[in-house]
Amino acid sequence: MDMPSNEEVIDFVHKNFGQESSKNLKNINKGGNNNQKGRDYENQFLLYKTFEIANKYSHSCANQVVESQVIGFVDDICHIDYEVSTKYNFQAKNSSGDAAKWTDEISSRFRKQRSIDTNIFKVDTTENCLLVSSEKHASENQEKIPTDLKNNDT
């Protein structure tokens, strides 16, 4: 038996519960799809980083930590390389819209994350990355990184 189409469900909701309910349902569905798209993007990058690290440290990964959704200001993916005392943080944005643009807020979050990493994680270096799927935004973002962040953040 086939699943009803989204439009069939939306039409039903519109007819039975009204326009506001159908609009709300569309927004719920859009949010869920966007969240899934973002999770897929993060998970793909997490796998990429894990394989990259495993290849680089094929002798032993004992001093490597890779996690997702670590509490912090740059929280999507983190890799701690204790062999070189560096923590790499990634904020993933699978968007071609404003979410993928470098902002003062991103700069502030990266600075705060660096302080957390130095004082709590006890690493010597932090590298933060606004990971975007839009090549256009990636290129534009490089030009917007403040001078004090350019050496360690991308």
Report pLDDT digits (tens) over 101-151.
999 999 999 999 999 999 998 999 999 999 998 899 999 999 999 999 999
Taking only Cα atoms into account, the Rg of the chain, rounded to an integer number of angstroms, comes to: 20
Q: What is the pTM of this model?
A: 0.76
Tokens 């404003």 sit on residue = 98
d(CA 64, CA 66): 7
Single out the residue of 92, 106, 89 nearest to residue 144, CA to CA: 106
User: Which amino acid, one-letter code, is at 23?
Assistant: K
Instruction: Give 24 or 78, the one with higher predicted confidence.
Output: 78
The three-class DSSP label of residue 53 is helix
Q: What is the pLDDT of residues 39-72, one digit of tens each?
A: 888 889 999 999 999 999 878 888 999 998 888 8
Annotate 102-135 with three-state secondary structure.
CCHHHHHHHHHHHHHHHHCCCCCEEEEEEEECCH
92 pLDDT higher than 60: yes
